[in-house]
Amino acid sequence: MKTIEETQAEIVEEFNSVDDWMDRYTMIIEEGNNLPQLPEKYRTPSNLIEGCQSRVWINAEQTPEGRIHFEADSDAMIVKGIIALLVKVLDNRTPDEVLNADLHFINDIGLGENLSPTRSNGLLAMIKQLRLYAMAYKAKAES
């Protein structure tokens, strides 16, 4: 399995091969289209992310090996692509890996500066929720 750094480097390399931001948005949407379908049973209010203008659901389950498996979906194409990128980087990691990850790919591909303020707030809310899941699983393991 690739490390978080290797996964981020691949994303940055892929996005840096395209200069035009409309093409990058297309790439983000394609990432969302490649996201596995979130089972209906996880589209619950408890999995809905607060702070996002569009609806975003994130489900997390800990594997027997202590890693976190993330599943997500959104009703907005670009947001779905953004959560797909976050899942690509953080899925199947340990709680410590999720908590300590420097998600520099967001700025490296120019995503942070090319999102509306509302979408930027949503991005921060998604990252916060992924890390909250990691904190909860870490605390559970330590108790």
Give 8-52 pLDDT, tens digit per residue: 999 999 999 998 999 999 999 999 999 999 999 999 999 999 877
Name the β-bridge partners of 69. 61
The residue among 135, 5, 3 whose CA lies nearest residue 68 is: 135
Measured distance CA(129)–CA(48) in Å, rounded = 10
Neighbours of 87 (CB within 10 A): 21
How deeply is 24 buried, as exposed, middle or buried, from its count of CB atoms within 10 A (0-12, 13-18, 19+)?
buried
Q: What is the pTM of this model?
A: 0.95
Q: Which residues are catalytic?
A: 52
